[in-house]
Structure 1
């Protein structure tokens, strides 16, 4: 029988996964996403690969263009980083 210290919660997906989903729904490539957000290609790659945390400014931009709240993006990022540390 497994001890509770060996049990890990189901994988959490980082914000990059959900950004990618939104891009697919809109049929946007990285170039269109860069135009709409004014993010650099480097910043976009870091977000999509979950290599960069979501800042408040980034969360506000994502919320505005994807019709969500900034808090949604901050929560996704926070929960993902908590999961990584478990």
Structure 2
């Protein structure tokens, strides 16, 4: 039996887009966020530009500074990756 998840976002949203919106709302720079979490600014830039995902460690860091849960950030990342994988599978089917 094949079970399909009928919910597919029309356009997958990379967690970096959400991160950028959060920085803009708080008027924080990428450098400021990097300093707050003690990580390289290049990591923040890579996430925002869609070149890196959210690791568990980064999710914990973001949860601490944004007052969210780490699971929120992990879910954003896994939902994005799953959506991309589904799209690839549909293209090859």
TM-score w.r.t. structure 2 length? 0.78
1:9 CA displacement: 4.4
Name the counterpart of 1:41.
41
1:42 CA displacement: 1.5
| Ranges of 4+ aligned residues in structure 1 off by more than 4 Å | none
Q: What CA RMSD, in Å, does the superposition of the two structures yield over aligned residues?
A: 1.3
The answer to whether residue 16 in structure 2 is matched with residue 52 in structure 1 is no
1:34 CA displacement: 1.5
Name the counterpart of 1:75.
75
Cα distance between partner residues in 2 of 1:67 and 1:56: 16
TM-score w.r.t. structure 1 length? 0.83
Higher relative CO (Cα under 8 Å, sequence separation at least 6) belongs to 1
**SS of alignment partner, residue 52 of structure 2:** coil
The number of residues matched between the two structures is 79
The gaps in structure 1 that reach 5 residues or longer are 1-7
